[in-house]
Amino acid sequence: MKTAVSATQVERFRALVARYLGLKFEDSKTGLLAEVLQRRMEWNALPAEPYLARLEARQLRGEFGALAQELTVGETYFFRNIDQLHAVRDGVLPERARAQATRRCLRILSAGCASGEEAYSIAMTLRDVLPDPSWQLWIRAVDLNPAMIAKALQARYAGWALRETSPAMQQRWFRQKGRDLVLDDAIRAAVTFEERNLNEDDPELWQADAYDIVFCRNVLMYFTAQSAAAVVARITRSLAPGGYLFLGHAETLHGLSQAFHLRHTHGTFYYQRKDGVAQPERACLQQDDVAVGPALTAVVEGAGTWIDAIGESSKRIRELTQVTMSTGAAAGVLEPWHLGPALELFQQERFAEALGMMQAVPPESARDPDVLLLRAVLLAHSGQLAQAEDVCHRLLALDELNAGAHYVLALCREGAGDRRGAADQDQAAIYLDPTFAMPRMHLGLLARRAGERETVRNEMTHALALLEREDASRLLLFGGGFNRETLLALCRAELQVCGESV
Ligand SMILES: C[S@@+](CC[C@H](N)C(=O)[O-])C[C@H]1O[C@@H](n2cnc3c(N)ncnc32)[C@H](O)[C@@H]1O
C-alpha cells in the first residue's frame, strides 16, 4: 500500500522539479506528480519529508535521472521536421563552413536528444555535404534521461521510428536485425551522447563559442518560462556569433530572447544569433473589450483588399473609443510613453492628427517598440503603406520577434500587390505568436482572393477559434476598427462560402 502524501508535499515536489529539472506541470497534473512522488519515496525507502529534504539538498544520487524517466516526454523520430534539416543542408551549413574555414570543423549540439533519432538524422543529412573529407562534423547530443541515452547508444530502433525516413536513407544506413533496424556504425561514430541537465549552468556544456548550430527542439515547451529563458540564454552564450538555433515547430523565442534574428527558408522558421545587445521586453497593451460595429462582410466584399477594408472604416473606431476610453485603460497603460492621447486620436480615426502628435514623441521614446508599432498602424490605416513598412522594418530591427510588426507588414505587402510577401509576413506573425488571430484571418482572405478554398477553410477555422479569446487590446490595435463579433461573423461567412456549417 502506498504512503499518502499531502497536497503541500506534492506542491513542494512540483517546485523542486521546476527548480532542478526546469519542467512545468499544470494544476491538472498534480495527480501524476503525487504518484511519482510516492514511487520515488518507496524506491528510496524514505517518507515524504526526508525524501523532499534530500531531493532539495541534491543528496539523492541519480535521482534527477530517475525523475526524468518518470516525468519527461521522449517522443521523437528520424527526420522529424525535415524542412529544418534541409535548411541546414542547403543554407546554414555552407554559411557556417565559410565562417569556420580556418578551423575546418562544424560543431552541432542536439539538446534534449531523447533516444538519438534527431542527432543521427543530422549526421545522415550532413555527411555528404561537408566541403571536403578533411572537414570534421562534431555532433554532441545530450539528454537528462539516462534510459534515453542508453537507447541512443544502442542505435537499434523499431520501424515506427523510421516512419518519416526515405527508402533511400533506410537502405543506405540501416540493416534489419530481428524486428528492429540497426544504424550503420559510420553514423553512430559521428555522434557523442552524454547525460546532461540543460537546466544546470554547466560550464563545460555551455562554453562560449562552442557550437555552430544548436537543435533544441520540442524541449522548451515542457519548461517553465523562467527555465526556458535561462536555457536560451545559455544557448546564446555557447553559440558562435552568427550561429543558428532550431526549435520545435510549436516553439518560438517570442518573449524569451531578443538575441536572435528570425530566419524563414524551406517553409520553416529558425534563428540566427546576432551580436547586438538584447532589447528589453515590450510592455503589453491592455484594454477591455467592446462589442459594436457594422457587418464587416459587406465592407470586405466591396473593398479590394483587407487593407482597403480597414481604410474604408468609418465611425467604427470612434464607437470603440467611446467605450474603451471610458475604461481609461489604454491611456493608463501607455502613460509612460505619453501615447494615450495619440491612441485616443487613432481610436477616433483622426490618423493625421495622431501621427502629428507622434512627431512630438521625445527622442528617447522614438525607438520604443510600442511607439513604433502604433506609428506603423497609424500609417497603414491612413494609406501610407511605404512609410508604414519603413517603420515596421525599424521596429523589427529593434525587436525582430514582434508579431504585430509582421502583421502590419503583411497588410502593406498586400497593398503593394505582393500576395506572396503578405502571406510570408502573416506566417511569421503566426509562428511568433500562435494565439494571434488577425494574421490567420488575413491569410484566409488572401487565399479567398486566390480561390484557394482549402486554405480559406483552414485559416478561417483557426481565426474563428482564436478570435473568441483574442486579447481585446490587440483587437483594438489590429482589428481595423471592427469589433470581435463583426470579425467572428466575417470568419463564419467565409467558412459558409466554403461549404462549412458554422
Ligand atoms: C520530446 S523529446 C524531444 C526529442 C527531440 N529533440 C525531438 O525534437 O524529436 C524531449 C526530450 O527533452 C529531454 N529533457 C527534458 N528536460 C530536460 C533537461 N532538463 N535536460 C536535458 N534534457 C531534458 C527529455 O528527456 C526528452 O528526451
**137, β-bridge pairs:** 106
CA distance 392 to 396: 6
Q: Which domain range does residue 365 map to?
A: 296-497
pLDDT-derived band of residue 499, with 50, 70 and 90 as boundaries? confident
Do 348 and 269 sit in the same domain of this protein? Answer: no
Do 15 and 91 sit in the same domain of this protein? Answer: no
**270, β-bridge pairs:** 263
Do 264 and 127 sit in the same domain of this protein? Answer: yes
> Which tens digits make up the pLDDT trace of 330-348?
333 334 456 777 777 887 7
User: Which atom, in ligand 1's list, is nearest to the CA of 115?
Assistant: 27
Do 364 and 311 sit in the same domain of this protein? Answer: yes
Could you tell me if the CB of 421 is within 6 A of ligand 1?
Answer: no
CA distance 429 to 421: 13
Distance from the Cα of residue 443 to its chain's centroid: 19
Do 213 and 127 sit in the same domain of this protein? Answer: yes
Question: What does each C-alpha distance from 73 to 62, 70, 113, 145, 258 come to in angstroms?
Answer: 19, 9, 11, 10, 28
The DSSP output letter for 277 is: P
Q: For the chain, percent helix, then strand, then coil, each to nearest 5?
A: 55, 10, 30
Q: Which three cell numbers mark 239? A: 553559440
The answer to whether residue 283 sits within a structural domain is no
User: Which atom, in ligand 1's list, is nearest to the CA of 215?
Assistant: 6
Q: Which amino acid is at 382?
A: S
Q: What's the burial of 490, exposed, middle or buried (CB within 10 Å: 0-12/13-18/19+)?
A: buried
> Which tens digits make up the pLDDT trace of 247-304?
999 999 988 998 999 999 999 999 999 874 333 333 222 222 222 233 344 445 555 6
Residue 206: φ, ψ to 5°: -110, 35
The answer to whether residue 428 sits within a structural domain is yes
Distance from the Cα of residue 49 to its chain's centroid: 39
For residue 33, how far is its CA from the centre of ligand 1 (angstroms)?
18
Could you tell me if the CB of 275 is within 6 A of ligand 1?
Answer: no
Question: What does each C-alpha distance from 491 to 295, 302, 461, 462 come to in angstroms?
Answer: 12, 16, 7, 9
pLDDT at 276: 42
Number of domains observed in the structure of the chain = 3
For residue 418, how far is its CA from the centre of ligand 1 (angstroms)?
40
> Which tens digits make up the pLDDT trace of 421-467?
999 999 999 999 999 999 999 999 999 989 899 999 999 999 999 99
pLDDT-derived band of residue 309, with 50, 70 and 90 as boundaries? low
pLDDT at 387: 93
> Which tens digits make up the pLDDT trace of 88-107?
999 999 999 999 999 999 99
Site to probe by mutation for ligand 1, drawn from 143, 220, 234 as the one with most ligand atoms within 8 Å of Cβ, is: 143
For residue 112, how far is its CA from the centre of ligand 1 (angstroms)?
3
pLDDT at 500: 76
Do 133 and 257 sit in the same domain of this protein? Answer: yes
